Amino acid sequence: MIVHSRLESAHLAGNLLGDPSERDVFVYLPPGYEQSGVRYPTAYLLHAYGTTAQQLITPATDGQQWKPPLEDVLDPVFGRMGVAPMIVVIPDGWSRWGCGQWVDSPVTGNFEQYVLHDVIPYVDASYRTVSGARSRGVFGFSSGGFGAWNIASRNPEVFGAMAVLSADSFLDLTHKFMLYKFLDSIWPEAPSGPVDGNEWSEMVYDYSATYSPNPDRPPHYVDLPVAFPSGELIQDVWDRWLSFDPVVNVHQRLENLRKLSGILLDVGSNDDYNLHWGHRLLSHHLKAAGIEHEHRENSGNHGGRSRERYQVALAWLSQVLERA
């Protein structure tokens, strides 16, 4: 059963894009919840770029790629797969430019603070959760996996484990090329904001709004990391992007990472954006630092097996999170 609520957030209010501060929160209650009376560990599922929590719960039925309703993905986990029951929480991280990336930004909103200080207290007060960090995990796919890394690696006193699925990482390889795809897509015009229907412009402006926001530069409030028309990389802006990159910030977060009870890195070896190389490099850094983790690869591309990987992540989280 999935329960839908609306939650007003002071941490999202006043964002410079003017996106709503009242957001959907969906809570999946496992079979037997209403009859049991016991408390459950909680897994927070962060959705990916270009979608909303509502669309993750009930995907569109048209288009080339059909996806099942999320309840049809979760029910088998706690049914035929035999995974011990958990509460699964799906907050909304939508931005009109794609996604808030689950980080704090004056342009898109403070999504990390929203999860930490709005969603979690609401869920713990409303449902029978085991409220300690060791009983709370976070997972997500693509930008949601990136968000899981960001929030858990910065807040081990809140989240005890993370499952990072096909996450944005190794931006020098996986994202830098997008800057030039963007310039090619609008050439010979100069950048002047996201172009409807132009995925490269939308992604570059979304990432700039989250990684290199500039409230003093209206009307789009971002610093772009590439100059026009030369194409020269603006290194100080690009460095701001890299500060969010897991393969870069892992070195500053080692003590936090050692406090976690579990880290799962899971990615398709045929990822369309080469994110498998980011996962491999991140695993290498974790190994070098002596931090225990699991690194798994499957034969999928970027997104084709995402629902299956949600099931894998929940089965893994059930083994590392403490129960009542």
Return mean pLDDT, the chain.
95
Could you tell me if 204 and 260 lie in one domain? no
Residue 102 reports pLDDT greater than 70: yes
- Both 206 and 315 in one domain: the answer is no
Provide mean pLDDT across the span 153-178: 97
Six-digit token string for 320: 């590392």
Looking at the structure, do residues 219 and 249 belong to the same domain, yes or no?
Answer: no
Which of the four pLDDT bands, split at 50, 70 and 90, describes residue 324?
confident
Place of tokens 């904001």: 193
pLDDT band at residue 61 using 50, 70 and 90 as cut-offs: confident
Residue 81 shares a structural domain with residue 142: yes
| Alpha carbon distance 143, 114 (integer Å) | 16
Could you tell me if 200 and 63 lie in one domain? no
CA atoms within 13 A on the CB side of 135: 18
**Residue written as token pair 């794609």:** 98
- What pLDDT does 64 receive? 63
Is the same domain home to 34 and 114?
yes
Q: Are residues 137 and 196 in the same domain?
A: no
Domain boundary among 226, 242, 258: 242
293: left (phi over 0), alpha (psi -120 to 50) or beta: beta
| Dihedral angle sign, alpha carbons of residues 172, 178, 182, 187 | positive
pLDDT category at 275 given cuts 50, 70, 90 is very high
Residues 218 and 288 in one domain: no
133 and 151 share one domain: yes
Asked if pLDDT for residue 304 goes beyond 90, the answer is no
Confirm if 247 and 282 have CB atoms less than 8 A apart: yes
Give the domain extent around 182: 172-242
- How confident is residue 65, by pLDDT bands cut at 50, 70 and 90? low
Domain end, chosen from 190, 216, 242, is at: 242
Please tell me whether residues 208 and 95 are part of one structural domain. no
CATH number of the domain at 104, please: 3.40.50.1820
In the chain, the number of structural domains is: 2
Q: Which of 214, 242, 270 is the last residue of a domain?
A: 242
Q: Are residues 125 and 235 in the same domain?
A: no
Residues 91 and 214 in one domain: no
Single-letter code of the amino acid located at 217 = R
